[in-house]
């Protein structure tokens, strides 16, 4: 349970800050270099709302012309029974499918109940405010939702 928060945090952060070229159409991420992805994520277990935990999360990583790689995470619990640290397997890579959609390549979060994992997790990207909003998404037996903002402001074309 302690690690479930990492699942949510990692998924959101990865989603919001990573963008890369897709096979169908090449996308360009700008600018490149060091990035910070931060925001509030809610994590929990599928079908069990009393485990919902809200975390203020910050990911660090690098943007290149093809996308982002998240390599660091820090998170502080706002509310709920789960921990907001430990569990997410870094690095996390996210691909830009279009100027309005990202795909988390692979997300693995270790929890006390086992690992939650998912591939090709699609989330909406907003170029206007350099953010990703993760609608309530199931990743194995885990669930997460939230909005993360990338800094410096990032555009996907």
CA–CA separation, 152 and 8 (whole Å): 22
Structural domain of residue 118, as residue ranges? 4-156
The per-residue pLDDT string of the chain (157 residues; one tens digit each, 9 = 90 and over) reads 444 444 444 444 444 333 333 344 568 899 999 999 999 999 888 888 888 999 999 999 999 887 889 999 999 999 998 888 767 789 999 988 889 999 999 888 877 778 889 899 999 999 999 999 988 888 888 888 999 999 999 999 9
Euclidean distance between CA atoms 130 and 148, whole angstroms: 9
Q: What is the pLDDT of residue 22?
A: 35
Q: Are the C-beta atoms of residues 137 and 144 closer than 8 Å to each other?
A: yes
3-state DSSP assignment of residue 3: coil
CA angle 47, 50, 51 (to 5 degrees): 80
Residue 126: strand pairing partners: 131
pLDDT at residue 26, as a whole number: 65
Q: Report the number of distinct structural domains present in the chain.
A: 1
Tokens read off for 150: 């990338």
């Amino acid at each position: 349970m302690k690690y479930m928060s990492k699942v949510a945090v990692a998924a959101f952060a990865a989603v919001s800050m990573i963008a890369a070229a897709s096979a169908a159409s090449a996308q360009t991420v700008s600018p490149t270099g060091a990035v910070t992805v931060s925001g509030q994520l809610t994590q929990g277990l599928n079908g069990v709302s009393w485990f919902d935990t809200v975390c203020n999360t910050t990911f660090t990583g690098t943007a290149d012309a093809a996308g982002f790689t998240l390599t660091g995470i820090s998170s502080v619990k706002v509310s709920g029974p789960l921990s907001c640290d430990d569990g997410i397997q870094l690095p996390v890579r996210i691909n830009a499918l279009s100027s309005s959609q990202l795909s988390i390549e692979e997300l693995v979060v270790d929890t006390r109940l086992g690992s939650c994992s998912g591939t090709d997790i699609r989330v909406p990207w907003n170029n206007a405010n350099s953010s990703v909003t993760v609608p309530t998404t199931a990743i194995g037996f885990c669930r997460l939702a939230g909005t993360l903002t990338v800094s410096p402001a990032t555009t996907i074309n």
